[in-house]
Amino acid sequence: MSATLGESPAAAAPAAGAPAARRGAGFGSTVAAVLRKELLVELRTLESVPAMSLFAVTTFVIFHFALNRGSVEGDLAAGVLWVTLLFAAILGVNRLFVADADQGGFDAFLLAPVDRTALLVAKVLTLLGFLVALEIVAVPAFSILLLAPPVGPALGGLAATLALGDLGVAVIGTLVAAMAVRTRARDLLGPLLTLPLFVPIVIGGVRCTAPLLELTHRSGPPARWLATLGVYDLVFGLLAFALFDFLVED
């Protein structure tokens, strides 16, 4: 069945001289707008950061009793710290796009004449912010509850290692969350896809952190493992940039 309304033969062609595409916000302004919205939503709901922080502190308490030790150091300390932080990060990853998917924010963003990778950058920065907030709570808690050596001398190296690890977690987490959020099994799919991709971050993070958390604190993080973390971040950053547009499309 076909019908036209007031159509002339000339008008049947795609509208000649149709108005040019409207320009929306620039890349930076779009990132800033999404970031601002994310922070407002988090401040209103307090859903992600408090849950991540509480999870991390509770896990340290569980490790305290499960290991049956008053304190840990070296490899064990680094392992406990990174595993706890990554599991806590998954809580944030799972919530990252939920408000957008459930309340139509995804569609609204897709309708705007803006670069869609701005959403990726804004979400990575959001998750990065959540991870930093988590670590501001979790690292002192770890130091008080489990860590044998004082954390002060290790702080510089630890901050550099955590920053590189956080960047990888944020990029991978955002990519996976964008993939999982439109599926019915998003709560399962998120962790199942994220955890294997976090393994190289755990390995690199623990190798970098272990020397910092030894009682003697002999050296800083090994440059080789810092570089490995950096390369992993870069690879996934490029991958996310290339894939994100396809992930958010129908």
Partner 1 sequence: MPSAAPAVEIRGLVRRYGEREALSGVELSLPAGSTLVVFGPNGAGKTTLLRVLATLLRPHAGRVSVLGSELPGDAWAARGRLGLLGHEPLLYSELSARQNLRYHARLHGVGEERIVELLDAVAMTRRADEPLRTLSRGMVQRVAVARAVLHEPELLLLDEPYANLDPAAIELVAPLIGASASGAERTRELCSHDPGRGLAQADLVLGLRGGRPALLAEAATVRASEITELYR
222 binds partner 1 (CB under 8 A): no
Q: Is the CB of 43 or the CB of 223 nearer to partner 1?
A: 43
- SS3 of 69, please? coil
Give the shortest CB-26-to-partner 1 separation in angstroms: 8
d(CA 130, CA 174): 12
d(CA 81, CA 142): 7
- SS3 of 73, please? coil
Of 4-12, 165-173, 189-197, 209-217, which segment contacts partner 1 by CB under 8 A? Answer: 4-12
Of 111-119, 130-138, 170-178, 232-240, which segment contacts partner 1 by CB under 8 A? Answer: 111-119
Tell me the backbone φ, ψ of residue 116, rounded to 5 degrees: -70, -25
Query: Which residue shows structure tokens 């955890």?
Result: 195
20 binds partner 1 (CB under 8 A): yes
8 binds partner 1 (CB under 8 A): yes
Give the shortest CB-40-to-partner 1 separation in angstroms: 6
2 binds partner 1 (CB under 8 A): yes
Kindly give, in sequence order, each residue whose CB lies less than 8 Å from that of residue 171, ignoring residues fewer than 6 positions away.
124, 233, 236, 237, 240
Kindly give, in sequence order, each residue whose CB lies less than 8 Å from that of residue 182, ignoring residues fewer than 6 positions away.
101
249 binds partner 1 (CB under 8 A): yes
Number of residues that bind partner 1 (CB under 8 A): 46
Of 34-42, 76-84, 208-216, 235-243, which segment contacts partner 1 by CB under 8 A? Answer: 34-42
Of 25-33, 176-184, 195-203, 206-214, which segment contacts partner 1 by CB under 8 A? Answer: 25-33
Q: How many CA atoms lie within 13 A of 61 on its CB side?
A: 6
Of 41-49, 65-73, 164-172, 235-243, which segment contacts partner 1 by CB under 8 A? Answer: 41-49
- SS3 of 147, please? strand
Give the shortest CB-44-to-partner 1 separation in angstroms: 4
H-only helix segments in 96-222: 98-103, 105-111, 117-145, 155-180, 186-209
Number of Cβ within a 10 Å radius of residue 76: 18
Question: Site mask, partner 1, residues 64-103, x = CB under 8 A?
Answer: -----------------------------------x---x
In this structure, are residues 119 and 27 in contact, taking their beta carbons and an 8 Å threshold?
no
Q: Residues interacting with partner 1, by CB under 8 A?
A: 1-8, 10-12, 14-16, 18-25, 29-30, 32-33, 36-37, 40-41, 44-45, 99, 103-105, 107-114, 249-250
